Amino acid sequence: MDELYKFRKEAEFRRFSPRTIETYEGCLRKFFEAVRKDYREITKKDVREFLEELQARKVAGGTMHVYLNAIKFFFEGIMHRNFRIDIKYSRRPKKIPVFLNKEEVKRMLEEVHNLKHRLIIEVLYGGGLRVSELINLKVKDIEINKGYGFVREGKGGKDRIFVLSKVVQDKLKNLIEIEKLEKQNFVFITNRKWKYSDESVREIIKKAAKFAGINKKIGCHTLRHSFATHQIENGYSLNEVQAMLGHKSPETSMIYVHMASPNMLNIKSPLDSL
């Protein structure tokens, strides 16, 4: 479909994440299949009727929001047409995210006997990384002796610094030396020399939680929530946690924190205080 090709080219040019591109493309595909018109002839009324049909089918508010954003991006961002749609829908209320306490993180790590798998969890939790940021981490992106690394083109296409726990620094040096990794190599690769997938990392965390007797429903992002929560417990402020997580605004980080004076100097990883 010509319209989906246009969308993908523009989204890739703007450095949308692969997951966002896939999600928006799926929404647009369903929209164009439902409307059955040449995209140049689609009107605001067509869009409204499509969204109202989703409402009638009791589609969740969050899903409605994604459809609307995908359609708006295509017509406003690519076709340069004004498609402001005033349609009300109920968004799912935000839930407090599941996180682990420090003792649970400690138990999880103790149950992981594969050294590389344990290091994956330590870097993920110790730096507050998203799983996509961890699996795309390259040797050239980490300054082990200086205790920090760089997330390259994270969510929203932005770079940021993350902290490398003292616990992982020698382990990372040994990993790089043993596996003879070059600067351009991914830090975490499988025995077949492939980059880890997010599914593989998710399975590592799931097994570790199970063996540790943790009954909470957790995933890779649970460790990021835990990182943020424990940094607040360690005395860091909203602005500091916002910067560490790479959030655009303080409101996104507000669920973890209360306001305090910002100070990003001498940040330590929560992994060092377990």
Annotated catalytic, 107?
Answer: no
Annotated catalytic, 236?
Answer: no
Is-contact 160 150, C-beta < 8 A?
yes
Annotated catalytic, 221?
Answer: yes
- Enumerate domains of the chain plus CATH numbers: 2-78 (1.10.150.130), 102-273 (1.10.443.10)
Q: How far apart are CA 200 and CA 189, in angstroms?
A: 11
Residues present in the chain in total? 274
Q: Each residue of 100-114: pLDDT tens digit?
A: 888 999 999 999 999
Q: Is the pLDDT of residue 140 over 60?
A: yes
Between 93 and 243, whose confidence is greater? 243
Q: Each residue of 206-219: pLDDT tens digit?
A: 999 999 999 888 88
Q: Is the pLDDT of residue 153 over 80?
A: no
Reference 88, options 64, 69, 67; nearest CA is: 64
Annotated catalytic, 94?
Answer: no
Q: How far apart are CA 56 and CA 29, in angstroms?
A: 20
Q: How far apart are CA 267 and CA 241, in angstroms?
A: 10
Q: Each residue of 219-249: pLDDT tens digit?
A: 888 888 888 888 877 777 666 777 777 766 5
- Given 118, 225, 230, 247, which residue is catalytic? 247
Q: Is the pLDDT of residue 264 over 70?
A: no
Q: How far apart are CA 167 and CA 150, in angstroms?
A: 18
Annotated catalytic, 152?
Answer: no
- Given 224, 225, 230, 236, which residue is catalytic? 224
Q: Each residue of 29-66: pLDDT tens digit?
A: 999 999 888 888 888 888 888 888 888 888 777 788 88
- Given 160, 207, 221, 268, which residue is catalytic? 221
Annotated catalytic, 256?
Answer: yes
Strand bridging mode 142-143 / 148-151 = antiparallel
- Given 29, 30, 140, 155, which residue is catalytic? 155
- Given 117, 130, 225, 230, which residue is catalytic? 130
Please tell me the pTM assigned to this model: 0.62
Mean pLDDT, the chain, whole residue set = 82
